[in-house]
Amino acid sequence: MNSVSPSAAQYVGGVMQDELVESRRQQPPERQNSFGLRLPQTPDTSREATREPDEMDRLKAKMMSAWNNVKYGWTVKSKTSFNKISPVTILGHSYLLNSEDEVERFRLAFVSRIWLTYRRDFPQLEGSTWTTDCGWGCMLRSGQMLLAQGLLVHLMPRDWAWPDAQQLTDVDFEVFRPRSPARAGGVPIPSFGSPRGSNTPEKSLSSSQASRCGQKKWPESVKDRQAEPIHHKLVTWFGDQPLAPFGVHQLVEIGKGSGKKAGDWYGPCIVAHILRKAVAKTSVVQNLAVYVAQDCTVYREDVVRLCDLSLSQTVPDPSSQAWKSVIILVPVRLGGEALNPSYIECVKNILKLDCCIGIIGGKPKHSLYFIGFQDEQLLYLDPHYCQPMIDVTQVNFSLESFHCSSPKKMPFNRMDPSCTIGFYAKNKKDFESLCSAVSMALSSSKEKYPVFTFVEGQSQDYGLEGHSSNHSGPAAHILPPGKLGRSNNRSNSDEFVFL
């Protein structure tokens, strides 16, 4: 198959060209420049852009919302099967499901991830008729989950688990003892379950057994319980209200700068930049920055300049921390039309790292948030479930709909090659460790070209104008390695370089 070097995929102003091409198709040519921003408009065009939605727009939006609410508002319960002889990896932690205690540890780790899905009946998005993101906002939701995981490791105790996860007893997965290592089928190991969890009596526990198993209490950590107010506050930041700093309303508003609007489909690269801007815009999160890699390259000095507060202070404040924590987002493309199998081992090794906070991608126009794997299947959280809006301004609102009890798996070969990988480093030492550990994971790829690279220096040292964390200059066409500094007069239709 044809392969695509991730570092050869061209970016324009920090946004992948394939996403910009799609954006340009959706907008009149006269309203675009090469950076994807709107050019000054004539009075007539400006009035057209700012007009209120007419009755036809409202009717169309209502019909689409109604259809999507039906389509995504219900789900068929099905159990996902895990085998007991292969470890399951979730964001740097492995679980061998050969005992009830290990199964419970895995369950707590999965349920504790923050799950953000489609919502309906929230306040109308400004400049549109949309009161739901159902049917179009899955990549925004996946991006929210990626950011939420970064905030969890930033704010919560290490290895935090949601103490109230015990209340979600209807957990839809089974653990199997495979008949052979090559086939993950066979006899189920009923470590726990629920009365509604299985369709076949011979493969399930009785109701009384399931109830006893579901009621098993894992020892509760005092630190986990004390951290619950922070957990609650963190979820409010993703609420579906205009003032929530990481809610859909704010993300859509920020996305307008990239030519996107409510109802459009968002790609993983554009969402990475939206998340960066959202964190930079708010004051609710202290001592945290987001860096988005350019041309599949993390420029180490750019990260240092973003995080080292002593470089930006004329007189260093002794009371302030010298280094900001950082979330590093790396948009990549792992193949041409389909995932290049040579990168699968590399993706596995990345998900094994403590510093990894997940991957947003999925299938074409069907975004998912990947958090782990078992054997040749990815483990993910799915935003494609439409739930009623939760008013997070209410005291003690329920957190249950923000946590998922149904692990789902998908074969690696169905993964879309376009994705964004996330990492987190708490301090400078962690950043150095991250660079070393991730570089080692990247070297495991069988492909000649790495998924992405770390280099010394700043982006402008390589002929780029500004780095991705504060880029505001004209677009830079990033060429394949070895061609930096040469003429960049390339056709905009060259979305990728096939090798």
Among 85-89, 212-216, 458-462, name the one with the lowest average pLDDT. Answer: 212-216
The pLDDT of residue 68: 61
Tokens, residue 59: 């009717």
pLDDT tens readout for residues 418-445: 999 999 999 999 999 999 999 999 988 7
The pLDDT of residue 55: 66
Dist CA 201 CA 220 (whole Å) = 33
How far is residue 407 from each of residues 162, 347, 403, measured CA to CA in Å?
A: 16, 19, 11
Indicate left, alpha or beta for 153 from its phi (over 0: left) and psi (-120 to 50: alpha): alpha
Among 37-51, 54-68, 286-300, name the one with the lowest average pLDDT. Answer: 37-51
Cβ neighbours of 357 (radius 10 Å): 26
Q: 49 φ, ψ to 5°? A: -70, -30
> Once rounded to an integer, what is the mean pLDDT over residues 33-57?
45
Q: What is residue 214's three-state secondary structure?
A: helix
Question: Which residues does residue 298 pair with via DSSP β-bridges, in sequence order?
Answer: 454
The pLDDT of residue 450: 86
Where do the H-state alpha helices sit in 396-497?
428-442
The pLDDT of residue 50: 44
Q: Is 138 a catalytic residue?
A: yes
Active-site entry in 231, 273, 384, 403: 384
The pLDDT of residue 309: 86
Half-sphere exposure of 334 (CA within 13 A, CB side): 31
The pLDDT of residue 185: 40
Please check the confidence at residue 195 and state whether its pLDDT lies above 90. no
Confidence band of 465 (pLDDT split at 50, 70, 90): low
Q: Please state the separation of Cα 27 from the chain's center in Å.
A: 27
Dist CA 340 CA 321 (whole Å) = 42
How far is residue 157 from each of residues 22, 224, 228, 230, 474, measured CA to CA in Å?
A: 41, 7, 11, 10, 42
The H or E element that residue 250 is part of is: helix 248-255
Among 254-258, 351-355, 364-368, name the one with the lowest average pLDDT. Answer: 364-368
For the chain, the domains span 6-36+112-165+226-462
Please check the confidence at residue 135 and state whether its pLDDT lies above 70. yes
pLDDT tens readout for residues 285-312: 999 999 999 999 999 999 999 999 887 6
User: In this structure, are residues 68 and 133 in contact, taking their beta carbons and an 8 Å threshold?
Assistant: no
**Strand bridging mode 387-388 / 418-425:** unpaired
Q: What torsion do the CA atoms of 300, 434, 15, 360 make, to the nearest 10 degrees? A: 180
What is the rounded average pLDDT for all residues in the chain?
A: 76
Q: Is 384 a catalytic residue?
A: yes
Active-site entry in 172, 224, 264, 382: 382
Instruction: Count helices and strands (H / E) in the chain.
Output: 13, 18
Provide the whole-model pTM.
Answer: 0.76
Active-site entry in 134, 138, 269, 346: 138
